[in-house]
Amino acid sequence: MTTPPGRQPLLDALTHLGAHAGKRASHARGYCAVGHFVPHDDAVHFADLAILRDGPLPATVRFSVGGSDPAISEKTRNLRGMAVRLHGVHEAYDMVLVSEPIFYAATPVSFLSYLEAHAADPDTGMPDPQRIAAHELRHPDTLRLPALLASHAAPASYACTSYHSTHAFLFTGADGAARPARIMAAPEAGVRYLSEAEERQLPPAFLEHEMDERLLQGPIRFQLYAQLPAPGDPLDDPSMPWRGGTRVPLGVLLITALADTSCDFMTFMPTRLPAGIAASDDPMLLARANAYASASLARRR
C-alpha cells in the first residue's frame, strides 16, 4: 500500500506550481467580505448545534479564485472558493467551499501525483505531456473535475455560483443520531456563467467591482443546505459527485459588505467544527487539516 503524503509534500507540490511570498499556497487571489448567518427555524432537528440555536451570527467570508497565482485572470475556468467563518457565542465554524460539487482527487496520493504531473518541467517551462498521461492512467479520478471546469465558462460573479464542501461531515441531530451530509450554498441570484462576449471583453480583474456594484442593491444571499447522500454515495471521496437530491435547509448567509484585507491572515480550516459536527473519515479532509495548519500560515508570513 502507498503511504499517504504528509503535509509538506502536498504543500511543496502546491507551491511548486508557483510560490508567491506572503500569499496563500492555494486560492492566492481573493478578498474579504463580512455578513451574517440567519439559521433556519427547523435546522436544529437535523443538527443540534448551539450556533443554530443562538440566532443570527456574524460571519467573515473570503472569496477566491483557485490556484497559487495572486494575479491569475478572474476569467480563468477554474474553481472559485468561498471560505466562511461563523462566529458563535462560544465557538467558531469554518466552511471552506468550492464552486463545483467535486474536487480534483479522491486521495492525497492521487492529488500529489496530479500536482507533480502538472508542475513545469525545468527544461521547457511547461508541464510534460507524457508525465501527465502516465499520471492520468494511474489516477483517473483526477479527470472528473478538469472536465467539469472545461464544460462551462467561469462564474459571472462570486454571487452567481453554488459552493460545495465536497467532503462529508457527520451532523448529530436532536435525536442523538449522527448523519453524513455535504454542505452546499445555493445563490439566491441564480447560477450564471460568463457569456462568450464577456469572456473576450471583460478585463482580467472584474469580480471585486462586480460585487461592489451588486452590494449597492442590498445584501447578497446564499441558502445553506446539508445535502444528504443517496444509498451508495461515497462518504470518503470528494472527487465523486453525490446523486442524493435531499437538501435540509440550514439557514441563510447574507454578505453585506466587502472588507479589504481583514481576512488575509486568517486561516479558514475545514476541520474547525462546532460541537455536533464531526469530520468524516475522508483522507483528503484529514490531509487538508494538516496542510492548512501552521505550515501554511508560517509560509504566508
Query: Would you name the residues annotated as active-site residues?
Result: 27
Residue 280 vs 296, nearer CB to ligand HEM: 296
Classify the C-alpha dihedral 221-74-143-83 as positive or negative. negative
Residue 68 within binding range of ligand HEM, rule CB under 6 A: no
Question: Which three three-digit cell numbers place residue 289?
Answer: 487539516
Site mask for ligand HEM (CB under 6 A), range 244-273, x = bound: -----------------------xx-----
CA 48 to chain centre: 24
Query: Around 135, how many Cα atoms within 13 Å sit in the side-chain half-sphere?
Result: 20
Rg, Å, the chain Cα set? 19
- Per rule CB under 6 A, count of chain residues that contact ligand HEM: 30
Minimal CA–CA distance to 84: which of 149, 171, 165? 165
φ, ψ dihedrals at 184, nearest 5°: -140, 150
Residue 157: CB minimum distance to ligand HEM, A: 17
Residue 107: CB minimum distance to ligand HEM, A: 9
Residue 145 within binding range of ligand HEM, rule CB under 6 A: no
Residue 100 vs 194, nearer CB to ligand HEM: 100
Task: Tell me how many degrees the CA angle 42-48-49 measures, rounded to the nearest 5.
Answer: 105
Nearest residue to ligand HEM on Cβ basis: 81
Return residues touching ligand HEM (CB under 6 A). 10-11, 14, 24-27, 30, 62, 64, 81, 83, 96-98, 103, 108, 111, 165-166, 238, 267-268, 284, 287-288, 291-292, 296, 300
